[in-house]
Amino acid sequence: MAQLKIIKGDITKVHVDAIVNAANERLAGGGGVDGAIHRAAGMQQLNAACKKLHGCPTGKAKVTSGFNLPAKYIIHTVGPIWHGGNHREPKLLSNCYRNSLQQAVNYHCKTIAFPSISTGVYGYPLGKAAKITVNVIKQFPIQLTVTMVCFDDNTYRAYVHAAQQH
C-alpha cells in the first residue's frame, strides 16, 4: 500500500524519485505548477523532451528526465477541466493519479510527489479533488511513499481533511 505524506511547499524543491507535473495536453509548459516545473527543470531541455512525447491525453501519464530538478523523473499528467462533474471528470482525475503512480512503479521509483491536479485554472473543486486523490493513493496496491505538495494553506487544509476522513 502507498504511504501518504502531505506537506506545504514548492514541488520543484522536493527530493523524490519522481515529481508529477500537472501538464496540458501539448506538454508545452504553461502557468502554475507546469510553468514552475519547466523553469526549474530547464525550459529548453524539458520542452525538447516533451516534444518527443507527442502530447498526452487527459488522464494519461508520460515520463521525461527530471533534468535540473532534484527528482530523477518528471511524470506529466493532464487533469480534466471542470465542467460541473458530468463529463467524466472524477474518472479522469482518478486516472491521472493512478496512471502516474503506475509510471512511478514502471520506472522503479520508491518516492513520488504530486501537486493538486486540476484545482487551479482547470477549476476542479478542491475538496472533491482532494477526496479523489487521497482515495486513489491509499488504495494503490504497491508500496510507494507519496508526498502531496500543497502550494498554499487552503490546499494543505483540504488534503489533510480528506486524509482524516479516509
153 is catalytic: no
Gap between the Cα atoms of 44 and 67, Å rounded: 10
pLDDT digits (tens, 9 = 90+) for 74-100: 999 999 999 999 999 999 999 999 999
* Mean predicted lDDT score pLDDT of the chain: 97
Among the listed residues 17, 34, 152, 153, the single catalytic one is: 34
First-last CA distance in the chain: 14
pLDDT digits (tens, 9 = 90+) for 25-62: 999 988 899 999 999 999 999 999 999 999 999 999 99
Helix/strand/coil for 9: coil
pLDDT given at position 47? 96
Gap between the Cα atoms of 19 and 75, Å rounded: 6
Query: In the chain, pLDDT over 70 holds for what percent of residues?
Result: 100
Domain ranges within the chain, ordered by starting residue? 3-165
Gap between the Cα atoms of 127 and 113, Å rounded: 19
What CATH class is the domain 3-165? alpha beta
Gap between the Cα atoms of 104 and 120, Å rounded: 24
